[in-house]
Structure 1
Amino acid sequence: MKDDEPFVLNDPGRLKALAHPMRRRMLTHLNVHGPATSTTLGELLGAKTGTTSYHLRQLEKYGFIEEIPERSSGRERWWRRAEVPRDMRLPKPDEVPPEDRAVLAEFHRIGFEEDRALVERFPAAYRADPDWARGSRGMGRMTKQELNEFYDEYIALLLKYSHRAEDAPPDARPLYIRFFTLPADEN
């Protein structure tokens, strides 16, 4: 699979691996700060090493993280974010078997909790450095086809300007970027 091809996250096991708050926080930490050990992550997240080890193994099982053998020694294992497709998309509910739709719903619930926390942080981040905290709100009228095209172009633009950690210029910073649409004429 090419790096810029959409990858639909339709494997229930992989989706379930990402539908856990601690695992998501671990992935975020590895994404933003780079490699870490189970002990380091446990201290940062307020969890016991056994708990973080279990969650790290689940993330490894589904290919989201990998061990760094050259840094690991004895019981200390170092972990990093694995190479995953940059354009990872969720399946539509009707593309998921009925028995797995609760996992998709939980994935969304946890994600929107994270998003709500980011929205609450935005005003302070904007006051601190408006060159790094940008926001946009708008409304538009589009057909489903136009919305699909808009979304694909948005993803392409995101991929064009986003760097993987190892390829980023020295002055690049990790940024949270969110995009969502919903009909304005429904409650």
Structure 2
Amino acid sequence: MTDAPEPNPSPPTPSGAPPVRRMDARSLRGLAHPLRMRILDLLTLDGADTATGLGRRLGENTGTVSWHLRHLADHGFIEEETGRGTRRERWWRAVRVSRRLDTNDFRDDPDIRGALSVYLHETVHRDFDQVTTYLAEEWGAEWRDAGTLSRWQDLRLTPDQLAALNAELEEVVVRHREAAQGGAAPDAEEARPVLVQLQSFPRRERDER
């Protein structure tokens, strides 16, 4: 399971891709909280903000948001944007990284199952909310035609084939991301932020349930 890379002004790696952070038990516990995950997502998608600004957007008390911001910083998910703000009003940004979580790492650890469950459920709810928001918004015809909600249900794959499918799809997304970051497109000024959500998983057949 891979999260989208988190943009900020940090220097890119030679390949242009963000560094990869494999989630361990400590980092998973540090992030697996509904409000912390929402805070990190806002900083990831929209850039740096303050506790006051985030509290206003989330409908939360500024003191509560500040506490969660410090918690995220302690676990290396966000960092202070130096040279901006005041001693009373600090600006925070998401650390530029691609997070990878392998649920197999925690299969035999009952102490982390609760945090893992929170993380996975909040991730699914976040993706669902983003899709429903998109559907409720008004977009021009060119953007309505470009977006898609697709589902293919007629595949029968082995685990290796499913893994290969996911790897190939990720390569396609990475290729387009790198091309966009390179500014190669002649109509780059018309570009908007785009979310790509991929969900692929096996399902049990009727006689297996």
Q: TM-score, structure 2 length as denominator?
A: 0.74
Asked if 1 retains the 8 angstrom alpha-carbon contact of 2:18 and 2:96, the reply is no
The structural deviation recorded for 1:48 is 1.4
Q: 1:153 aligns with which of 162, 168, 173?
A: 168
The structural deviation recorded for 1:166 is 8.2
Q: Which residue of 1 aligns with 2:35?
A: 22
Q: Which residue of 2 aligns with 1:73?
A: 86
Q: Which residue of 2 aligns with 1:60?
A: 73
The structural deviation recorded for 1:167 is 7.0
Asked if 2 retains the 8 angstrom alpha-carbon contact of 1:71 and 1:78, the reply is yes
Tell me: CA distance 1:170–1:70, structure 2 relative to 1, closer, same or farther (3 Å).
Answer: farther
Give the gaps of 5 or more residues in structure 2.
1-12
| Percent identity of paired positions between Structure 1 and Structure 2 | 33
Q: Which residue of 2 aligns with 1:110?
A: 122
Q: 1:99 aligns with which of 111, 121, 125?
A: 111
Q: Secondary structure at the match of 1:67?
A: strand
Tell me: CA distance 1:155–1:69, structure 2 relative to 1, closer, same or farther (3 Å).
Answer: same
The structural deviation recorded for 1:133 is 2.7
Q: How many residues align?
A: 183
Residues 123-175 of structure 1: per-residue CA shift (max 9 Å, x gap): 43587541453221102121111111111122222222226x98775433222
Give the gaps of 5 or more residues in structure 1.
none
Asked if 2 retains the 8 angstrom alpha-carbon contact of 1:23 and 1:56, the reply is yes
Q: Which residue of 1 aligns with 2:190?
A: 171
The structural deviation recorded for 1:8 is 2.8
Tell me: CA distance 1:166–1:143, structure 2 relative to 1, closer, same or farther (3 Å).
Answer: closer
Asked if 2 retains the 8 angstrom alpha-carbon contact of 1:8 and 1:89, the reply is yes
Structural RMSD (CA): 2.8
Asked if 2 retains the 8 angstrom alpha-carbon contact of 1:93 and 1:101, the reply is no
Whichever residue aligns with residue 148 of structure 2, its letter is: R
Whichever residue aligns with residue 92 of structure 1, its letter is: T
Q: Which residue of 1 aligns with 2:51?
A: 38
Q: TM-score, structure 1 length as denominator?
A: 0.82
Asked if 2 retains the 8 angstrom alpha-carbon contact of 1:17 and 1:62, the reply is yes
Structure 2 distance, partners of 1:100, 1:121, is 32
Whichever residue aligns with residue 68 of structure 1, its letter is: E
Tell me: CA distance 1:64–1:132, structure 2 relative to 1, closer, same or farther (3 Å).
Answer: farther
Whichever residue aligns with residue 119 of structure 2, its letter is: F
Q: Which residue of 1 aligns with 2:9?
A: none
